[in-house]
Amino acid sequence: MHYEAIVIGGNFAGLSAAMQLARARRSILLIDAGRPRNRFAEASHGFLGQDGVAPAAIMLEGKRQLSAYPTVSFAEGEAIAAEKTGGEFNVALADGRQFSADRLLLATGVRDTLPDIPGLAERWGRSALHCPYCHGYEVRDRALGVLGSHPFSIHAALLIPDWGPATYFSQGLVEPDQEQLAQLAARQVRVESSPIVEFLGTAPDLEAVRLQDGRVLPLSAIFVAPKVSMATPLAEQLGCEFDDAPLGPVIRLDERKETTVKGVYAAGDATNPMHNATLASASGVLAGVHCHQSLALGMAH
């Protein structure tokens, strides 16, 4: 089956991109594997009009709204291969189905790799959190921590006191210099150099952490910036180029949200080092609009 555009990824970015193309009356296929990055979170926060709503509910409603447009088709399944042949793109799913399109829009997201500390993974998205703007208000006024894992960890620790009493755990990886120590002290952030070796309590809740030196410190939530990688190999298969970001690669885009491969657009967490529901949705809107314009104006690809 051939479409004008295929959108791969049914989370906030992909749904927002598909909506623009649907409203432009283009024949599109939305492919979704059903494993969104935000599946571990109970609610989406800071997303205007959706604050406190479960991500799965937002996506379900988005798909319901998209299904009202007659030019939209859906395919549940994992896209495992994509290639450009001549003037069109071919996409293969794990179950053997194959589709083609004039344009391809990747909203495939990223995969998180957490530090290997016992008790962390089972708390991810609940009491181990990636973003204070997304989840800080819900853990306000409790004992909060920041796990040192990358150069911007100290910057994150300086922000956390606006939500609650904060401790920065350097893990022996990202030690603050004298200037940073003064900044942390001014913000009343406690600094712990002894690494966390275990998260304690009944998961997904967090009650305390055990340090390498044997001490146990009470803690209710910790902010962690995981390393990220592409959730699928599709961009690499297509020959898209990447840029390095602090936590992992991002797909290189121009101002039109087009990748370095003509006719391939991209949006969402795979394209932006800052990960947030609103930003993902906004990038999807822009990618969808520019993808449509390339179809309408017959831009070479």
Helices H / strands E in the chain, number of each:
7, 19
Average pLDDT of span 205-218? 98
Q: What is the 3-state secondary structure (H, E, C) of 193-210?
A: CCCEEEEECCCCCCCEEE
What is the Cα–Cα distance from 216 to 235, expressed in whole angstroms?
44
- What is the structure's pLDDT at 286? 98
Residue type, 261: V
Q: Which two tokens stand for residue 291?
A: 């993808």
Q: What percent of the chain has pLDDT over 90?
A: 85
* Position with higher pLDDT, 275 vs 243: 243
pLDDT class for 184, splitting at 50, 70, 90?
very high
Average pLDDT of span 260-279? 94
Examine the pLDDT at 40 and tell me if it is beyond 80. Answer: no
Which residue segments constitute the domains of the chain, with CATH numbers given? 2-112+227-296 (3.50.50.60), 115-223 (3.50.50.60)
pLDDT class for 50, splitting at 50, 70, 90?
confident
Q: pLDDT tens across 140-181, in order?
A: 999 999 999 888 899 999 999 999 999 999 999 999 999 999
Q: What percent of the chain has pLDDT over 70?
A: 99
Average pLDDT of span 243-250? 93
Question: What is the rounded end-to-end Cα distance, in angstroms, of the chain?
Answer: 20
- What is the structure's pLDDT at 299? 65
pLDDT class for 239, splitting at 50, 70, 90?
very high
Examine the pLDDT at 301 and tell me if it is beyond 60. Answer: no
- What is the structure's pLDDT at 255? 96
Examine the pLDDT at 288 and tell me if it is beyond 60. Answer: yes
Average model confidence (pLDDT) for the chain?
95
Examine the pLDDT at 37 and tell me if it is beyond 80. Answer: no
- What is the structure's pLDDT at 276? 87
Bridge partners, residue 83, by sequence? 90
Nearest-CA neighbor of 247 among 166, 147, 176? Answer: 147
What is the Cα–Cα distance from 78 to 55, expressed in whole angstroms?
20
Q: pLDDT tens across 73-113, in order?
A: 999 999 999 999 988 999 999 999 999 999 999 999 999 99
pLDDT class for 39, splitting at 50, 70, 90?
confident
Collapsed DSSP state (helix, strand, coil) of residue 113? strand
Q: Is the peptide bond before 55 cis (omega within 30 degrees of 0)?
A: no
- Rg value, the chain, Cα: 21
Collapsed DSSP state (helix, strand, coil) of residue 250? strand
Average pLDDT of span 18-22? 98
pLDDT class for 52, splitting at 50, 70, 90?
confident
Average pLDDT of span 56-84? 96
